[in-house]
Amino acid sequence: MNDQPSTTRRATKRGRARLHAMLQVVLDRTEPAVEWLIRLCGWSAILLVFGIFFFVFREALPMLSGKLNLTEFFTSLEWRPTAEPVPHYGILALLVGTISVTGLAMLMAVPLGLGAAVYISEFSSGRMREILKVLIELLAAIPSVVWGFIGYMVLGPIIIRLTGAPVGVNLLNGSIILALMSVPIIVSVGEDALKAVPDSYREAALSLGASRWEIVYRVLFPAAKNGLLAAVLLGVGRAIGETMAVLMATGHAIQIPHSLVDPIRTLTATIAAELGEAVQGEPHYRVLFVIGLVVFVLTFIVNLTADLVVKGIRNERAV
């Protein structure tokens, strides 16, 4: 009563309230439609996964149905998609390139990643842990093209100076870069897995007189082994699919590597390098989609396994 708002203000207030009420009514009336929209969006992920497979498959299909000799495709070392009169589509060297660079990267990334995960989860605490986690997260945020740039401009010259290799962009360079790229995911998933082990396990081990290392090695590793395996698999999945970094840092030579400093080429880099030049609808263009299908299936299997492994622990816990 003391401070009566002016009539105009009261009017606008009332108007706004009425507008708000009307909006609410409209929103309420649309509930069935909205629910359908929400449901549709919920299913979008499934649609997209199938869509991705479908559209990549669709472009690859004319090649798959007869034109491409699959035995040659998987076992030949010759990748000469533009050779006249008979082009050669053999991806063995590319496949070996992908596998070798991924394997080498994992040799570096797994010990580093698990070590860092153990350090962050078990040996550090409080503010230090938060800072380390943020730093690792920032490591994950650096775009792949920047990693490629680092490999090309910074790491390459260093490798030439240290090993005397003729070119700096090679298997070693690519795998170091890939290792650095896939480590963050290994660390964060691995750390989650270690954190998921109940504290009572740690306390029981402590009361038996175990040292911290014994807790990690004898208690946490066995208890979290599925989670750690999933972490490694997700790292592998990331490394197989990585494109720009390996395109720039591995040297782009189609061959089976014989030493650490041989340049190589991967499946993904081939697609990225050649799709721009390939004529739409030509066999070369379609073969690149077939390679895409191979990469898709590879990563799909790896990711699916990782997911099933994680599901496995969850079910075990529930029992």
Partner 1 sequence: MNEPFDAKSSENQYKLLGELTVPLDDSELFTATSVEHWKQVTEKIAWFVCLLATLVLIVPMMAILTYLLVQAWPALSFSFLVENPHNYMTAGGIWAPLVGTFWLVWISLLIAAPVGVLAGVYLNEYARDNWCTRIINLAVVNLAGVPSIIHALFGVGAFVMFAGMGRSLLAASCTLAVMTLPVIITSTREALAAVPRAFREACWNLGASRWQTIRTIVLPNSISGILTGVILQVSRAAGETAPILFTGAVFFSTLPEYGIQAFFPYGLGDRCMALSMHLFTLSTQVRGVTPALQYGTAVVLIGLVLAVNSLSIGLRVYLRSRKKW
Which listed range, 77-85, 86-94, 141-149, 160-168, lies at the site for partner 1 (CB under 8 A)? 141-149
Counting contacts by CB under 8 A, is residue 125 touching partner 1? no
Of 228, 296, 288, 270, give the one whose Cα is nearest residue 101.
270
Q: Which of 127, 199, 276, 279 binds partner 1 (CB under 8 A)?
A: 276
Cis, peptide link before residue 85, omega less than 30° from 0: yes
Counting contacts by CB under 8 A, is residue 234 touching partner 1? yes
Counting contacts by CB under 8 A, is residue 89 touching partner 1? no
Counting contacts by CB under 8 A, is residue 191 touching partner 1? no
Counting contacts by CB under 8 A, is residue 208 touching partner 1? no
Helix (H) / strand (E) element for 202: namely helix 199-207
Which listed range, 62-70, 79-87, 89-97, 131-139, lies at the site for partner 1 (CB under 8 A)? 131-139
Q: Are 188 and 136 in contact (CB under 8 A)?
A: yes
Task: Pick the closer one to partner 1 by CB: 3 or 181.
Answer: 181
Residues 22-81 that bind partner 1 (CB under 8 A): 27-28, 31, 34-35, 37-39, 41-46, 48-49, 51-52, 55-56, 58-59
Which listed range, 160-168, 219-227, 230-238, 257-265, lies at the site for partner 1 (CB under 8 A)? 230-238
Separation between Cα atoms, residue 316 and residue 193, nearest integer Å = 14
State the angle between helix axes of 171-195 and 92-118 in degrees (0 to 180), rounded to the nearest 10. Answer: 40
Of 116, 60, 39, give the one whose Cα is nearest residue 291.
60
Contacts of 64 (CB under 8 A, 6+ apart): 290
Q: Which of 152, 219, 223, 229 binds partner 1 (CB under 8 A)?
A: 152
Helix (H, G, I), strand (E, B) or coil at 258: coil
Compute how many residues bind partner 1; rule: CB under 8 A: 87
Counting contacts by CB under 8 A, is residue 107 touching partner 1? no
The one-letter code for the residue type at 319 is: V
Task: Pick the closer one to partner 1 by CB: 11 or 153.
Answer: 153
> What six digits make up the tokens of 198?
């109940």
